[in-house]
Structure 1
């Protein structure tokens, strides 16, 4: 199934370190989700009667395995978690748990039916301070991965990473020297689109790029 109401979705990058994440289901999808959250330093609990890759899950100190029947998870148990992923092979059970979690004000992801979820886990990558996330809202994860690979191979070159880092330095200079936010943004945009500034960045001459930014700020 695919998402029917796209207008209500807002893309976010969430720092999950220390958050409590419940994964219901110990199969391939549940294991993949549990490992991904654990790698991002969330505190992960996996509930299932069986665990497909138990040895791999036990490699993480922040993954806790609970052998239990997912059909009988009470609300007071679900309410302990910030994020819930339902990944059993029972579609009706997944939807029922997700609906309960949403009523409790929790974030719930149902990989088998994004329409019953209130958040989606996209295909994403983070490299040298640049994060890119892509979703087709349940249509095709392979297409999302293909698009991410295209961006990585055709757009994320060294000059782009240099541009990101240099604009970060420009932002700090502007914060120290220009108090009015609207004027700061005006300078920020002017510097970003300045041909000479971009020429220096593309050539890796960052000191000259910063010098050019200062010239624009101070009107020299």
Structure 2
């Protein structure tokens, strides 16, 4: 099966995780860190003490009991990582019938979506999927990408994010804006940021940005280089 790649906005969305073992804890943390509006956790075991900081977050609720069909009410996305084949299939079938996005960990035949291996550097996320054929290969590729993408990519992306509204505020044409953005990403700005060469970074920005934005360069770089 060829999956359609997508990044989902979880803001104000209800999510459910059934099973809070080692895998479940990673899924819960990932959902919370991705800005999920609310994360409900169901597990028959009391929560691990190391989960205390996560459970203290206002958007996270934990219930120590068996899964119930009503737990799906109002949910946008569901992840199940239980050891029960029966429970996993039940959740999968219920989600299918209700049109709820569902992932049963390590069982792609029960899923409406799978979670890719990812490399994250600030707001940059690189996702790797093997369509469920080989999670081991996805992890190997992720390791290789982690060595290729350093923290300088997060800093560059932050700079670009700060530049964007300033450029759009100038009222230039789309073609002019595109030319500036492409000039920046194709320049040696990334290497200068990686080398923490503030003078070089400043000079590149002066060469690439319209003159009205030159006075904004110090604030563009504040805390980044």
TM over 0.5: yes
- CA offsets 1:144-167 (integer angstroms, 9 cap, x no match): 233222222224363x45543444
Match of 2:130 among 128, 136, 150: 136
Once the two structures are overlaid, the 10-residue window that deviates more, 168-177 or 110-119, is: 168-177
| 1:114 equivalent in alignment to 2:108 | yes
User: Residues of 1 paired with 2:160 and 2:105: CA distance?
Assistant: 37
Give the superposition deviation at 1:173: 4.2
Indicate conservation of the 8 Å contact 1:91/1:112, yes or no: no
- CA offsets 1:169-197 (integer angstroms, 9 cap, x no match): 5434431224433442244334543xxxx
Structure 2 unmatched runs, 5+: 213-225
| 1:80 equivalent in alignment to 2:74 | yes
Once the two structures are overlaid, the 10-residue window that deviates more, 135-144 or 82-91, is: 135-144
| 1:213 equivalent in alignment to 2:195 | no
User: Residues of 2 paired with 1:93 and 1:64: CA distance?
Assistant: 20
| 1:45 equivalent in alignment to 2:40 | yes
Indicate conservation of the 8 Å contact 1:201/1:209, yes or no: no
Match of 2:21 among 24, 27, 42: 27
Indicate conservation of the 8 Å contact 2:119/2:145, yes or no: no
When residues 38 and 188 of structure 1 are mapped into structure 2, their CA distance, relative to the original with a 3 A threshold, is closer
User: Residues of 2 paired with 1:39 and 1:61: CA distance?
Assistant: 14
User: Residues of 1 paired with 2:28 and 2:157: CA distance?
Assistant: 31
Structure 1 unmatched runs, 5+: none
Q: Which has the higher contact order (CA 8 A, sep 6+)?
A: 1
Match of 1:61 among 56, 64, 77: 56
User: Residues of 2 paired with 1:201 and 1:125: CA distance?
Assistant: 18
Give the superposition deviation at 1:110: 1.0
When residues 208 and 66 of structure 1 are mapped into structure 2, their CA distance, relative to the original with a 3 A threshold, is same
Q: 1:103 corresponds to which residue?
A: 97
When residues 182 and 99 of structure 1 are mapped into structure 2, their CA distance, relative to the original with a 3 A threshold, is farther
Q: 2:168 corresponds to which residue?
A: 175
**Count of aligned residue pairs for this structure pair:** 202
Indicate conservation of the 8 Å contact 2:183/2:208, yes or no: no
